[in-house]
Homo-oligomer: A and B are copies of this chain.
């Protein structure tokens, strides 16, 4: 039997700039967490809240690549897309992010993975937008549930793989 520990996810809205910062530890080496972001099949297995499916249209996770995926639930579809500004093996992903229902609200996202030793790592992901209203709307839109449930799925994937 596999026991999976779910670490607490911290979601902090920056007081000074329109940015939200998500911090989460994983009981897995950062190489595996990085691969779960880069590999389209793995990414689709954990991304998003528990009740939603992720269908990958493209996920070319390398510097200069782009992505598009569609999340589905009860026949509703929500599509997201962006480009990868920089992908640094096991360490860093800088990308843009847009919900196609609000294509002009583009976020600049920065994912950093730190090795904590003993096969553990810390993920920090910041999302920057151009207004506090936009940032607060994003946080209020159910982001916390999606992030928490997604990372719980990622915990299970990392424990089982």
The chain A residues found within 8 Å of chain B, CB to CB, are: 16-19, 64, 66, 82-86, 94, 96, 98, 103, 106, 108, 110, 126, 128-132
Q: How many copies does the complex hold?
A: 2
- A25: min CB distance to chain B, Å: 22
Answer whether A17 and B132 are a contact pair too, CB < 8 Å, given A64-B66, A96-B96, A108-B96: yes
Closest to A112 in B: B104
Task: Name the B residues within 8 Å of A110 (CB-CB).
Answer: 106, 130
Question: Which residue in B66, B94, B106, B131 is a CB contact (below 8 Å) of A17?
Answer: B131
CA distance A63 to B83 in the complex (A): 9
CA distance A24 to B65 in the complex (A): 32
Task: Name the B residues within 8 Å of A129 (CB-CB).
Answer: 128
Answer whether A106 and B108 are a contact pair too, CB < 8 Å, given A83-B85, A85-B96: yes
Question: Which residue in B82, B94, B130 is a CB contact (below 8 Å) of A106?
Answer: B94
